[in-house]
Amino acid sequence: MKPSSNRRWKSTILEIFEESARLNLVCAEAHWEEIRAIALLIVRAFKKDHKLLLFGNGGSAADAQHIAAEFVNRFLKKRISLPAIALTTDTSIMTSIGNDEDFSQVFAKQISALGKKGDIALGISTSGASANLIEAFRISKNKGIIRVGLLGRDGGRALRFVDHAIVVPSHSTPRIQEAHITIGHIICEIVEREMFP
């Protein structure tokens, strides 16, 4: 590979890292209080035997599963399992709802079946426009479930349907996703520190 090509790729990779780091710092400054508040809501829910229900589409579905795993297994400490469920993992449920009802109902019907008053529904969306998140938040409100959104861009329609939101102010889907998983990890760490000092 030519030296000029190496320099170009190094410059491109550094720019991407810098953009991601800048966005994380912007989110930290703008949302640290809301991040803490959401983490403490989750602590209170867990202490009262409530659960965390997580969901999203595409890469956000993977983030929902990732965060659920950190709670059920462990994050930094060896400790008891915490009740978190990713609603993105049961393919039979999701495909049957998508086939028999409508894809907009894939999370709402699971929340209707599993969610109880006092639980927390955490939806992740880079656009905030996903119909299945909005339907999940609607049913959550009816059941007395606390609604949290990890969103991107300007928050989209989903912003109107949540009790708590962290909006990553970017139009770059990968950069938003990177910030979302950082925020998810911070929430996990706060929850562990509070519950298992």
Q: Does domain 3-195 have CATH number 3.40.50.10490?
A: yes
Given a contact cutoff of 8 angstroms between Cβ atoms, the answer to whether 175 and 26 are in contact is no
What tokens appear for 46 in the block? Answer: 């867990």
Residue 4 has pLDDT above 80, yes or no: no
| pLDDT greater than 70 at residue 87 | yes
Q: Quick check: 157 and 128 in contact, CB under 8 A?
A: yes
**pLDDT digit string, tens, across residues 20-70:** 999 999 999 999 999 999 999 999 999 999 999 999 999 999 999 999 999
pLDDT in tens, 111-150: 999 999 999 999 999 999 999 999 999 999 999 999 999 9
Q: What are phi and psi of 166, to 5 degrees?
A: -120, 115
How far, in Å, CA of 64 to CA of 147, rounded? 14
Does pTM surpass 0.85?
yes
Identify the bridge partners of residue 84 per DSSP, sorted by sequence position.
52
Q: Please report the pLDDT score of residue 2 as a whole number.
A: 73
List, in sequence order, every residue forming a beta bridge with 10; answer none if it has no partner: none
pLDDT at 1: 62
